[in-house]
Structure 1
Amino acid sequence: MSTPSRPTRPIQKFASAVAKCSAEMSAYGRCVVADYNNIHKDKCLEEFLKLRECVRSGRKKRG
């Protein structure tokens, strides 16, 4: 009898996907911190969209 494999928890999948996006995460963080006193909606939209796409593609590849 083999032991059933334990399903991966959603947070583990997310953490794994985010770990592969360090460049995008850094770019987004730099954008936010660059002028954090003047942050407003969509200020770092381009960087956020790149980060979001990276995370999404990382999750798709792993299942």
Structure 2
Amino acid sequence: MSTPTTTPLRRLAVASTVTCSQQATVYGKCILATYTDVKKDACKEEFAKFGACLREAMKRKW
């Protein structure tokens, strides 16, 4: 049984707010800068980097 600190949801929360904070910030700034003129794939590169960071962080054993 998983402990509360090692549940997948807990790991995702930590990854998205601590481990991948730099990539999340860059993606968020892109969204903020383009939300009034939405175009397909406007922040695709930033999203890809954030997603890759999250996937890598979730692979690690905590």
Cα pair distance change 1:5/1:47, threshold 3 Å: closer
Identity %: 38
The structure with the largest alpha-carbon Rg is: 1
Per-residue deviation, residues 1-40 of structure 1 (Å, max 9, x unmatched): xxx7636332112112212001100000010111211112
- Residues 23 and 62 (structure 1), Cα distance of their counterparts in 2 relative to 1, 3 Å cut: same
Q: TM-score, normalised by structure 2?
A: 0.79
Q: Distance in 2 between matches of 1:5 and 1:20?
A: 21
Structure 1 pair 6/22, CA: closer, same or farther in 2 (3 Å)? Answer: closer
CA contact (8 A) 2:34 2:42 kept: no
**Which of 3, 6, 13 matches 2:3?**
6
Gaps of 5+ in 1: none
Gaps of 5+ in 2: none
- 2: distance between equivalents of 1:9 and 1:45? 29
In structure 2, give the amino acid aligned to 1:60: K
| Corresponding residue pairs, total | 60
Compute the TM-score of the two structures, normalised by the length of structure 1.
0.78
